[in-house]
């Protein structure tokens, strides 16, 4: 006799049967519901940005644990880590010259750990690095971001170089995970610790996006005016949304896999309990 389905299992099976467009619509609804919930729960929305940095740091910590325990960097993209270090370095510079605050310290700590991961991949664990799978040319990512930063950047009173750097790090952050997703696509297998890291990035991106969206709503659009005129304010929001959606698909399958694992474990437990009662 099969155990009765739990509500979460019923909902999961229903979602799984839906066509892609319905799934996309449900994802948008879920995102909007999460934004409303965050707006109610988190009173100071600057804390969302701090939380995003904290979750990113947790993801890096997972990588460090993997590298130290398993002595392998298989499945990791060195190029994604280098892009992360690049945009963090630029953002750290902008923080020092434009808005020195708690974000500066968080960026510095994340940069230090990212540089350590790069060192381990390049030197200590070089023999396990899948260089042939990490084949997305880095200039495919950097050059378009640099060109876009030259064309569209803040119109604030800061020096033009600083404004271009600020735009560059915003654009680069949005697409820095692409080489990692390419590695996962090429290998066809996602190593557990790498999956945890990418999922943490997805959560961090969502919290960062939520921070900007809620800030705009709370200021009734005045934040966009403070950021300058022209296309820049809109591009900032679009960049945040793009980087969230880039990882949304992976996060969906990550949660789906965890749910499947949970349901399998639960079914085995119920089956075992039923056998014990019969005996």
Question: Contact at 8 Å (CB) between 118 and 195?
Answer: no
In a domain? residue 5: no
In a domain? residue 24: no
- Tally the domains of the chain: 1
Give CA separation, 90 vs 10, 169, 231, in Å: 47, 6, 21
Report the C-alpha gap between 124 and 105 in whole angstroms. 27
Question: Contact at 8 Å (CB) between 74 and 24?
Answer: no
Report the C-alpha gap between 37 and 26 in whole angstroms. 16
Q: What pLDDT is attached to residue 228?
A: 61
**Tokens 């299992």, residue located:** 9
Q: What pLDDT is attached to residue 142?
A: 95
Report the C-alpha gap between 202 and 24 in whole angstroms. 16
Which of helix, strand or coil describes residue 191?
coil
Tokens of 245: 């959606």
Q: What pLDDT is attached to residue 105?
A: 81
Read off the pLDDT of residues 236-272 as tens digits, 9 standing for 90 and up.
778 877 877 777 767 766 776 666 666 666 566 555 5
Range of the domain at 74: 46-259
Report the C-alpha gap between 202 and 245 in whole angstroms. 9
In a domain? residue 276: no
Sign of CA dihedral 235, 237, 240, 245: negative
**Tokens 């600083």, residue located:** 162
Q: What is the DSSP string of 69-98?
A: HH---TT--HHHHHHHHHHHHHHHHHHHHH
Phi, psi of 99 (to 5 degrees): -155, 65
pTM: 0.78
Read off the pLDDT of residues 204-235 as tens digits, 9 standing for 90 and up.
888 887 877 777 777 665 655 655 666 777 78
Arithmetic mean of pLDDT, 102-108: 79
In angstroms, how far is CA 132 from the centroid of its own chain? 24
In a domain? residue 26: no
Q: What pLDDT is attached to residue 87?
A: 93
Report the C-alpha gap between 81 and 87 in whole angstroms. 10
In a domain? residue 6: no
Arithmetic mean of pLDDT, 29-49: 70
In a domain? residue 274: no
Report the C-alpha gap between 262 and 214 in whole angstroms. 33
Q: What is the mean pLDDT of the chain?
A: 78
Question: Contact at 8 Å (CB) between 234 and 209?
Answer: no
């Amino acid at each position: 006799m099969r155990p009765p389905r739990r509500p979460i299992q019923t909902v999961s099976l229903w979602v799984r049967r839906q066509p892609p467009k319905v799934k996309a619509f449900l994802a948008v609804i879920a995102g909007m519901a999460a934004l409303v919930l965050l707006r109610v729960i988190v009173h100071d929305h600057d804390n969302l940005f701090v939380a995003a940095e904290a979750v990113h740091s947790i993801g890096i910590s997972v990588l460090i644990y993997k590298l130290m325990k398993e002595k392998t960097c298989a499945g990791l993209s060195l190029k994604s880590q280098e892009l992360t270090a690049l945009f963090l370095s630029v953002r750290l510079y902008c923080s020092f010259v434009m808005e020195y605050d708690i974000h500066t310290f968080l960026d510095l700590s994340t940069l230090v750990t990212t540089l350590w991961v790069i060192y381990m991949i390049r030197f200590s664990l070089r023999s396990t690095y899948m260089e042939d799978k990490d084949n997305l040319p880095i200039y495919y990512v950097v050059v378009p971001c640099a060109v876009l930063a030259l064309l569209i950047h803040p119109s604030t009173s800061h020096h033009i170089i600083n404004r271009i750097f600020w735009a560059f790090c915003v654009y680069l952050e949005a697409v820095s995970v692409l080489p990692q997703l390419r590695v996962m696509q090429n290998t066809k297998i996602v190593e557990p610790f790498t999956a945890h890291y990418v999922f943490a990035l997805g959560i961090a991106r969502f919290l960062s996006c939520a921070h900007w969206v809620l800030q705009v709503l709370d200021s009734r659009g005045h934040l966009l005016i403070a950021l300058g005129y022209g296309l820049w304010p809109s591009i900032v929001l679009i960049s945040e949304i793009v980087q969230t959606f880039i990882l949304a698909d992976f996060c969906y399958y990550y949660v789906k896999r965890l749910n499947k694992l949970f349901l399998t474990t639960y079914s085995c437990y119920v089956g075992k309990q039923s056998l014990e009662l019969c005996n």
